[in-house]
Amino acid sequence: MRKAWFVLLLCLLAVMPALAQDTTETPLDVSDADLEPWTCPEGFEGQTLSVFNWSTYVAEDTISNFEELCGVTVIYDVYESNEAMLARLRQGNPGYDILVPTDYVVEIMIQEELIQPIDLSKIPNFRHVAENLIDTPYDPGNQYSVPYQWGTLGIGYNQTVVGYELKSWKDLFEYEGPVAWLEDPRAMIDIGLMMLGEQPPATDPEMVFAARDALLENGGNVVAIAQDDGQALLERGDVHATIEYSGDIFQIMDSCECDDFVYVIPEEGANLWTDNLVIASGAPNPELAHVFIDYILDPRVSADIANYTAYGSPNQTAIDLGYIDEELLNNPAIYPSEEISERLYFSAILPPEVDQAYADAWDEVKILLRR
Amino acid sequence: MAFNRSFGTAAYTIRQKKSGGLLALPAVLWLVLFFLLPLAIVFFVSFMSRGPRGTIVFPLTLEHYNRIFDIFFPVIVDSVRIALVTTVICLLVGYPLAFFISTRKSRRAQQIALFLVILPFWTNFLVRTYAWRVLLGGDGPVNNLLLSLGLIETPLTLLNTEFAVLVGLVYGFLPFMVLPIYASIERFDFRLVEAAYDLGANDWHAFWRVVFPLTLPGVVAGCILVLIPSIGAFVTPDLLGGTEGLMIGNLIQTQFRGTGNWPLGSALSVVMMAMVSLGLIVYMRFGGQN
């Protein structure tokens, strides 16, 4: 019996290298030379694709190039918030093929059957997607979504006013000037957990309430809890630092033409968000939608988008082959060091009683912070 | 003739009653469908439990009401206090203003003044509240003016305070105080003041004993119109109040957004409604009779 096991093990060991070779064939082996420009499959001429994306979220020629390459017409609508997009879709799909929801919204849309499964075999360029952004907790196995762009939830601050570097959540909490937090129970309680040296999310209500107390202890400098507009408070000088999404801080860095504003991914770790390409339920043209997703995941197309919007690109090949602008690639606020990357985490699905504890604890934080 | 006439009147009254009932039907239906029914739903949901992902599920529970009295009560008390202060300031500012407008001799001057009171409504409330954010900001016009006048040396913290909430609420609700008071002063017969003077009253007495009591219905209407929406305000405290100016409306609002807690939000709404109704009932039973 023992001998049989041993033989089996030997066989396995013999086969292993072959298996390993098979799987490593993907991203890193692609070289610039054998990366052909993207071509459209035959047979879509004259068809129409309807895309509903965030505003200012593609490069200037991303859509027109696709129209030209495939000979199709793209109807391109934009939205400003997940909630606005969800509200439109919940009333019945008005005819959209492609949507770009944020991670937790993908999960909601799967549960509410607002999106349909994706056939990854029709998307050869999926192999370019970075490993840490596939098979995520909100869509295990990428059955419904592929990542489009990503970013983090960190600290935006005015370095001229603050006068020194804020590197961590601890630095933010110990800063003596006015700061803003974010109206988001999940994000905030998770930050409390990181202050305690725990890895988010909490696994039981006790952990949540400990995080609540950590926030309360450190909330002396909080003057406002912003509804995702902390960047406006920061820009006008009403707070010196704020907890915000990377993209929102990049916006004011761009518009102010000054060196005042800085975005930093805190050392303790941060929430990693993704926006994702999905196909709506009842999409008029799911076949062309698959083609479009494959087009977007082409390393050159992906890089164009990331270079234009300055968000993180999920396209590992585009990064490896140097298609992403050097300046962006060297910005640790967009592409953090490996050490910090390891401390980024997705918002995972919570068991109901923990989810409830997050909501309750956050109400209590707000009530007790009043004075 | 007399007989005919009274007969005719009686018949008319009966007909009027019938057709009156029919005429009221749309309004009654409207109230039942869009007021009483939703209210009943809110009341019912407030006893339900919060399920996974913010769904509303059985079993029935009193948990939310317990939680309100354990945790949320200080915020409710503060909200009522802020609303009362708002109402008093609106009254102190609004009454003289209404008095001034309604005693203009020229009808045209009155119309222009009223127009000016209503004018802010032409701009969206949200936009006007955002404007206060700029005005009261650390680098805003108010602080810059005070700084350049040398009245202060460092910018005052005006935004994200309870003060800012009061400013925003008074600003937003002042017209609701002015208009009903204006209506009742406008109807006031000023010969009564002359009569009071003839009977030996001085200005003060003529106002307190004659003018004010007769314009009280307008004052009460104005106070109710300001007090009730102020208690539940959420846009103003959200944009201007920061952590310090948190009101119960904010906490109710967040229960309904995202993965909120609808049963708890409903229970909070029920408690608020109960408190406001109770206040009105007490007022009508005792205060209203004088």
Q: Please indicate whether, in this complex, the C-beta atoms of B254 and A108 are within 8 angstroms of each other.
A: no
For A35-45, how does the pLDDT look when each residue is reduced to its tens digit (9 = 90+)? 788 999 999 99
Alpha carbon of B237: minimum distance to chain A alpha carbons (Å): 11
A 10 A CB-CB count for A32 gives 12
pLDDT (mean) for B249-257: 86
Q: Please indicate whether, in this complex, the C-beta atoms of B261 and A359 are within 8 angstroms of each other.
A: yes
Of the CA atoms within 13 Å of residue B246, those in its CB half-sphere come to 26
Size of interface A-B (CB pairs under 8 A): 67
Q: Please indicate whether, in this complex, the C-beta atoms of B244 and A371 are within 8 angstroms of each other.
A: yes
Tokens of A18: 């072959």
- Tell me the pLDDT band of A20, cut-offs 50, 70 and 90: very low
* Structural domains in chain B (count): 1
**Which chain A residue is nearest to residue B259, measuring alpha carbons?**
A359
**Which chain B residue is nearest to residue A353, measuring alpha carbons?**
B52
Domain hosting B247: range is 69-288
Where are the domains positioned within chain A?
2-150+273-342, 151-271+345-369
For residue B174, what pLDDT is reported? 95
Give B-chain residues touching A183 at CB under 8 angstroms: 254
Give the whole-angstrom CA distance, residue B210 versus residue B276: 30
pLDDT (mean) for A87-98: 91
Q: Is the pLDDT of residue A133 over 80?
A: yes
What DSSP assignment string belongs to B71-110?
IIHHHHHHHHHHHHHHHHHHHHHHHHHHHHHHT-SSHHHH
Domain-located, residue B114: yes
Alpha carbon of B138: minimum distance to chain A alpha carbons (Å): 6
For residue B287, what pLDDT is reported? 59
| Closest partner CB to A369 (pick from B67, B243, B254) | B243
Give A-chain residues touching B240 at CB under 8 angstroms: none
- Tell me the pLDDT band of A120, cut-offs 50, 70 and 90: very high
Q: Which of A83, A234, A355, A363 to mutate to test the interface with B (most CBs of B within 10 A)?
A: A363
Domain-located, residue B278: yes
**Which chain A residue is nearest to residue B140, measuring alpha carbons?**
A236
Q: Is the pLDDT of residue A314 over 90?
A: yes
For residue A29, what pLDDT is reported? 59
Q: Is the pLDDT of residue A109 over 60?
A: yes
Q: Which of A102, A179, A225 to mutate to test the interface with B (most CBs of B within 10 A)?
A: A225
| Closest partner CB to A227 (pick from B50, B72, B238) | B238
Q: Please indicate whether, in this complex, the C-beta atoms of B160 and A364 are within 8 angstroms of each other.
A: no
- Tell me the pLDDT band of B1, cut-offs 50, 70 and 90: very low
Nearest Cα residue to B181 out of B85, B115, B97: B97
Give B-chain residues touching A219 at CB under 8 angstroms: 243
Q: Please indicate whether, in this complex, the C-beta atoms of A238 and B138 are within 8 angstroms of each other.
A: yes
Interface of A with B in 272-311 (CB under 8 A): none
For residue B259, what pLDDT is reported? 60
For residue B279, what pLDDT is reported? 82
pLDDT (mean) for A277-291: 96
pLDDT (mean) for B105-128: 91
Which class in CATH covers the domain with range A151-271+345-369? alpha beta
For residue A204, what pLDDT is reported? 93
Q: Is the pLDDT of residue A355 over 90?
A: no
Give A-chain residues touching B160 at CB under 8 angstroms: 178, 223-224, 238
Asked if residues A137 and A236 have their Cβ atoms less than 8 Å apart, the reply is no
Q: Is the pLDDT of residue A10 over 70?
A: no
For residue B152, what pLDDT is reported? 87
Q: Has the ipTM of the complex gone over 0.85? A: no
For B2-13, how does the pLDDT look when each residue is reduced to its tens digit (9 = 90+)? 444 444 455 556
| Closest partner CB to B139 (pick from A236, A366, A371) | A236
Tokens of A35: 């990366």
Q: Is the pLDDT of residue A1 over 70?
A: no
For A143-181, how does the pLDDT look when each residue is reduced to its tens digit (9 = 90+)? 999 999 999 999 999 999 999 999 999 999 999 999 999
Measured CA angle at A234 (ends A230, A237), to 5 deg: 140
Point out the least confidently predicted range of A126-135, A316-325, B54-63, B201-210. Answer: B54-63
Q: What is the largest CA-CA distance in chain A?
A: 76
Q: Is A256 on the interface with B (CB under 8 A)?
A: no
For residue A91, what pLDDT is reported? 85
**Which chain B residue is nearest to residue A177, measuring alpha carbons?**
B157
**Which chain B residue is nearest to residue A220, measuring alpha carbons?**
B243
Average per-residue pLDDT for chain A: 88
Q: Please indicate whether, in this complex, the C-beta atoms of A359 and B238 are within 8 angstroms of each other.
A: no
- Tell me the pLDDT band of A32, cut-offs 50, 70 and 90: low
A 10 A CB-CB count for B258 gives 16
For residue B281, what pLDDT is reported? 87
Q: Is A4 on the interface with B (CB under 8 A)?
A: no
Give A-chain residues touching B236 at CB under 8 angstroms: none
For residue B280, what pLDDT is reported? 83
For B133-174, how does the pLDDT look when each residue is reduced to its tens digit (9 = 90+)? 999 988 889 988 999 998 888 888 889 999 999 999 999 999
Give the whole-angstrom CA distance, residue A9 versus residue A15: 10
Give B-chain residues touching A367 at CB under 8 angstroms: 71-72, 74-75, 246, 251
Domain-located, residue B175: yes
Q: Please indicate whether, in this complex, the C-beta atoms of B138 and A236 are within 8 angstroms of each other.
A: yes
What ranges in chain B are assigned the alpha helix state H? 2-31, 37-45, 63-67, 73-102, 107-118, 125-136, 141-148, 162-187, 191-198, 203-205, 212-231, 235-236, 248-256, 262-285
For residue B18, what pLDDT is reported? 66
Topology of domain A2-150+273-342 in CATH is D-Maltodextrin-Binding Protein; domain 2 (3.40.190)
Q: Please indicate whether, in this complex, the C-beta atoms of B51 and A352 are within 8 angstroms of each other.
A: yes
Q: Please indicate whether, in this complex, the C-beta atoms of A227 and B75 are within 8 angstroms of each other.
A: no
Alpha carbon of A225: minimum distance to chain B alpha carbons (Å): 6
| Closest partner CB to B52 (pick from A183, A227, A352) | A352
Q: Is the pLDDT of residue B20 over 90?
A: no
- Tell me the pLDDT band of A33, cut-offs 50, 70 and 90: low
Domain-located, residue B50: no
For residue B13, what pLDDT is reported? 61
The predicted model scores a pTM of: 0.80
- Tell me the pLDDT band of A184, cut-offs 50, 70 and 90: confident
For residue B117, what pLDDT is reported? 92
Domain-located, residue B10: no
For B49-92, how does the pLDDT look when each residue is reduced to its tens digit (9 = 90+)? 888 767 788 888 888 999 999 999 999 999 999 999 999 999 99
Q: Is the pLDDT of residue A226 over 70?
A: yes
Check residues A26 and B167 and name the one with the higher pLDDT.
B167
Of the CA atoms within 13 Å of residue A96, those in its CB half-sphere come to 26
pLDDT (mean) for A128-144: 93
Question: Which residues in B have their CB inside 8 Å of a CB on A?
Answer: 50-53, 67, 71-72, 74-75, 78, 133-134, 137-140, 157, 159-160, 238, 242-244, 246, 250-251, 254, 259-261
Q: What share of chain A has pLDDT > 90, as a percent?
A: 64
What DSSP assignment string belongs to A193-213?
HHHTTPPSSPSSHHHHHHHHH
Q: Please indicate whether, in this complex, the C-beta atoms of A367 and B75 are within 8 angstroms of each other.
A: yes
Q: To which H or E segment does residue A365 belong?
A: helix A352-368
Q: Tell me, what CATH number does B111's domain have? A: 1.10.3720.10
Q: Hey, which bits of A92-200 come out as E strands?
A: 98-99, 115-116, 145-158, 179-182
Q: Is the pLDDT of residue A25 over 80?
A: no
pLDDT (mean) for A91-96: 93
Tokens of B169: 């609420």
How would you label B71-92 residue by residue, b for 16+ Cβ within 10 Å and e otherwise? Answer: ebeebbebbbebbebbbebbbe
